Amino acid sequence: MSHVSNRPATGTATLRAGLDGVLAGETRLSTVGITGVGLTYLGYSIEDLAEHATFEEVAYLLLYGQLPTQPQLKAFRDRIVAHRGIPPELCQVLERIPSSAHPMDVLRTATSMLGTLEPEKSPQEALHVSERLLGIMPGVLLYWYRFHQSGQRIDPTIGGDSIAEQFLWLLHGRPPEALHVRAMDVSLILYAEHEWNASTFTARVVASTLSDFYSAITAAIGALRGPLHGGANEAAMELIDSMRDPDYAEARLLEMLAKKEKIMGFGHRVYKSCDPRSDIIQVWARKLCEATDLMLLYDISERIEAVMRREKKMFPNLDFYSASMYRSLGIPTPMFTPIFVLSRVSGWSAHILEQRANNRLIRPLAEYVGPEPRPWQPLESRS
């Protein structure tokens, strides 16, 4: 293999695997991994938002750049609720998707299909599309799930006035407890936005081509589906489920580490010492596990964390304790990553709007490592 440089004459381009540490653009939406700042959404700390805000307030903040007043929040909630209805054509598609499909594939397909039924006709419709997606996503996911679980065609327009309450209501077929709704709301806040992660970068690359809103969101869902990104919470739950008690978990984990197996839910590409979201969700995981008599699950999780810190100096990220919290809410494991979508639609949408506002086609360079230039060989002379 040869190495033919594709760098500009100035020599400013530098090869970094996975674009690690490369500044690819600017954003005003969030800070990630900045020393002394922590995680913020448009200047508000994630700790304050998780303690005081609702997810709808955070979604409004991301889309409109400021926290809403009381009338603005009510109007925003009303619009989201009004956007819950699913077109009959999309219901037919959801019923035809196999029950064996991964729920992330359902959301990806549904988003693309919705784009054919309600296309974005101009950039001025972008905010409308983003609010439509926030409103319809929980119902789409659970219409498919409940239809294939029980043959029931649910009404996606019911479920209270928040996305957290609606999701739990439609999932279980009954009004959820207030504690459960608040826990779900906090989870959605924590997952809403996280700078230029893989799925957000994907959305911005698509947006930079001046493609439509639905295409950018569909592509982002595809990126999030992978186990190295959004799928990590499902993998973490599978790990926890495989342990019968804390002592067994420690012994098994040491075996896995000795074999250099990857342990999902730990470490982060940008954070170097802790994930500020993890401490918040861990408190809620313990609170919910205590309330639902699932403390064994939490104790196993806590022992896994202790072993990873002791043996590998690695900290849990948001995905790890989200797993046990979602289990305590009665959420099936394949639904974990789709919950990420229901939340991150707000962040993706904000980034698409930001990209469009100051657009330049995203087109990085690659270092060529293929063969040297060589002459063409006619078919009959090839051996």
* Residues annotated as catalytic (active site), given as ranges: 229, 268, 319
Distances (CA, A) of 368 to 12, 125, 191, 306, 365: 16, 41, 37, 43, 9
Task: Report how far residue 321's alpha carbon sits from residue 314's, in angstroms, rounded to the nearest whole number.
Answer: 14
Handedness of CA 281, 284, 290, 291 (dihedral sign): negative
Residue type for position 218: T
145: left (phi over 0), alpha (psi -120 to 50) or beta: alpha
CA 229 to chain centre: 8
Q: Considering only CA atoms, which of 179, 186, 188 is closest in space to residue 287?
A: 179
The H-assigned helical ranges of the chain are: 46-52, 55-64, 70-82, 88-96, 103-117, 126-150, 163-172, 178-191, 198-208, 213-224, 232-241, 246-258, 276-291, 295-312, 318-328, 336-357
Q: Considering only CA atoms, which of 98, 164, 160 is closest in space to residue 339?
A: 164
Within 13 Å and on the Cβ side, how many CA atoms surround 276? Answer: 21
First vs last Cα of the chain: how many Å apart?
Answer: 21
Task: Report how far residue 118's alpha carbon sits from residue 110's, in angstroms, rounded to the nearest whole number.
Answer: 12
